[in-house]
Structures are given as C-alpha cells and as structure tokens.
Amino acid sequence: MGAWTMQAMELRAPRTPLICCERALPEPGPGEMRLRVGACGVCRTDLHVVDGDLPFLGRSIIPGHEIVGRIEALGPGVAGLAIGDRVGVPWLGHTCGHCAYCRSGRENLCDHPLFTGYSRDGGYASHVIADHRFCFALPAEGDDAAAAPLLCAGLIGYRCLAKAGAAETLGIFGFGGAGHILAQVAHQQGRKVFAFTRSGDRAAQEFARSLGCEWAGGSDEAPPGLLDAAIIFAPVGALVPLALSRIRKGGRLVCGGIHMSDIPSFAYDLLWGERELVSVANLTRRDGEDFFNLVAHLPIHTSVVRYRLGEANQALADLRDGRLQGAAVLIPYTRLHND
C-alpha cells in the first residue's frame, strides 16, 4: 500500500463479491475526521447491502459500520477530539438536523440520513472518513476487535431491549452478534432470557446457556412458559407469528433488523390480548451514550472471529450460512487470534 493510498474492500454491484482495491487516501472535510481502522465488525446489515436486500444506490461503496479506529487527521471545526483518540463509528453517519423527526429527538427516523457503509463509505478498509458528531469516544486502551460489535450489534440490541420494556422474561430469536451481547446485558439486569436458535443448533444453544440464558432451544420449540416480550434479530418473517405465540397477553414483540422477509398471514388470536408488534429503526446518539455508559460497568464479553481485511467475502459467507458463533470482525493490520 502506497504512502498516500488506502486499502479497501469495495462493492461495485449488488450480489457480487467485494473487490480488494487501493484508493487515494481521503482528506477530512469540515466537521470530519479520518480514522486508521483498527477493526470493523461484519453485521447482518452489511449482508443486506451486499445481497441487494437494501436498494443499490448506483455507485461503488465500501461496506462496514461497526468501526473502531484512531484519529489520524482532523478537518476544520472538529472540537473535543484529538489526533490519536480512539473512537467508534456506528451505522447512523449523519442526519439533517431540521426535519420533524430530528427536531423531536427521533433522529433515527431522519428523512435525509446518511448511513455508514451504505450511503457513505464504511470500515471495510484501512481508513475511513466520519462525521465527528456521530462518533463515540472509546477508552484509550482495549481490544478493537472485541469492541467493534458493540457499535451496531450492541447498540441496536440495546434499543430493542428498551423497546421491549420492563420484561422479566425475554425471548431472543436469532443468537448471533446482537443476541449474544444483549443476552448478557439482560441477564445482568436480572431478567430471565430464553434463546431461540436454528433448529438443531446445539452448539449455539450451549453457547447461549453459557452466557446466562435460562433456556435455549430451536425456534420451533416451546419454552417453559410464556414470555413477557421477545426480540427477533433473524431476518425471517415466518418467525413473527411463531414468536407471538410464545408471548403472554399484554406482551410485546420487537423486530430488530433493518430488513426481514415477508411476514406470513396469521390468525388474529396471536395478536389479540393487547400484544404489540413493533420495529426498531437505526439508533440515536443518545442510545449510544446510554449504552456505552451501561456496558462500562458490566462484564460484557464479545465472542469474535477475526478475519483479515482481504477475507471480507469469506466473513460475509460465514455469516450468511450461519457458521459463526458470536460476531465476525475484519482486522486491517494486526496479527489474528480468535476467541
């Protein structure tokens, strides 16, 4: 890699492999900063971008939005940050600040947002440009790979948990990056957590129990009793009626993904009894501040599988095919060692 270039994995068309390439090293504009990427998590939303589930925006893009890095250059107008600071970059990369949603504290629903790794270049690269207002300060020391999944799997999981309310018994459908982080948070809050995995996936079920889950079984299995609430992270619409059948009256089902296959028709009886079905969209900066303040005082362990940057296509394939336990993380520079 040349002195004034950066390495990146680039998506040039949906449903095609990422291409390893060199780009000119970008300079940060007003309010921006350039980070040297230490680690970037591989999120299911990245799969939706690569696989064309989210509309292709007509230009090449560098995916990745669970980014941990150190500031290498600052643009004009950046305050409160310095060269060398360790920061995290999430999915929400910019909002307009003046639409009705932004003005009412719901910037996650902004009418004119930019998303890291989708509508602006992300972290499957050696360097990334980010709007400093939408980044989170991280402790100076720590394992970048372990922190990376917190930037989306953790943040979105936390927003889902807030939407689930004060549920004492909580079901989690889809026990991957978000599920394994959220289960630890909920367990340490004193909730009983029930993990639903792919049918017959005994390794995932044992993993869930090792993180404090009260019960773990296939999504087609019935837990020992009805749930107060449940969260679906798997992008499978058929899970919606199934999960509703596991929830007691007055409970809530939260759909945590940005994309889901079609939900099949189901009997009204599954929704009746004031059960609620809600979705979670993106995050707010307040979510991030609250979440990182919380996990600073909790012993959260992220289980990660490290890949070199050039192995991004393999990491995506392993996620797509359900071969991961925990989260995949790309490492541009450091020597690999897996947890």
Q: What would the pLDDT profile of 267-310 be if each residue is shown by its tens digit? A: 999 999 999 999 999 999 999 999 999 999 999 999 999 999 99
Cβ 2 vs Cβ 94: under 8 Å:
no
154-279 homologous superfamily: NAD(P)-binding Rossmann-like Domain (3.40.50.720)
The DSSP string of 131-198 is EGGG-EE--SSS-HHHHGGGGTHHHHHHHHHHHH-S-SEEEEES-SHHHHHHHHHHHHTT-EEEEEES
How much is the pLDDT for 2?
Answer: 46
Please name which of 206, 176, 207, 209 lies closest in space to residue 194, comparing C-alpha atoms.
Answer: 209
Average pLDDT of the chain, as a whole number: 95
Task: Return the SS3 of 52.
Answer: coil
Reported as type and span, the H/E element at residue 288 is helix 285-295
The count of C-alpha atoms lying within 13 angstroms of the C-alpha of 93, restricted to the half-sphere facing its C-beta, is: 21
Domain ranges in the chain?
5-151+303-331, 154-279
Q: What would the pLDDT profile of 102-160 be if each residue is shown by its tens digit? A: 999 999 999 999 999 999 999 999 999 999 999 999 999 999 999 999 999 999 999 99
CATH number of 5-151+303-331: 3.90.180.10
Q: Kindly state the DSSP code that residue 25 receives in the 8-state scheme.
A: P
Q: Is the predicted pLDDT of residue 328 greater than 50, yes or no? A: yes
The tokens for 247 are 């929830």
How much is the pLDDT for 334?
Answer: 53
Residue % of the chain over a pLDDT of 90: 96
Max Cα distance, the chain (Å): 64
Please compute the mean of the pLDDT values over residues 8-20 and round it to a whole number: 97
- Give the span between the Cα atoms of 8 and 64, in whole angstroms: 11
Please compute the mean of the pLDDT values over residues 178-193 and round it to a whole number: 97
How is the beta sheet containing 215-218 ordered, strand by strand?
215-218, 192-197, 169-173, 227-232, 247-255, 276-279
The DSSP string of 55-73 is PP-SS-B----EEEEEEEE
**CA-to-CA separations, 19 to 10, 53, 123, 129, in angstroms, rounded:** 5, 19, 14, 20
DSSP-based helix, strand, coil % in the chain, nearest 5: 25, 30, 45
φ, ψ for residue 40, nearest 5 deg: -140, 120
The tokens for 244 are 């509703």
Q: What would the pLDDT profile of 79-99 be if each residue is shown by its tens digit? A: 999 999 999 999 999 999 999
> 1: pLDDT confidence band, cut at 50, 70 and 90?
very low
> 336: pLDDT confidence band, cut at 50, 70 and 90?
very low
Cβ 304 vs Cβ 168: under 8 Å:
no
> 333: pLDDT confidence band, cut at 50, 70 and 90?
confident
When computed from its CA atoms, the radius of gyration of the chain, rounded to whole angstroms, is 20
Q: What would the pLDDT profile of 28-65 be if each residue is shown by its tens digit? A: 999 999 999 999 999 999 999 999 999 999 999 999 99
249 class by beta-carbon count within 10 Å (0-12 exposed, 13-18 middle, 19+ buried) = exposed
Residue % of the chain over a pLDDT of 70: 97
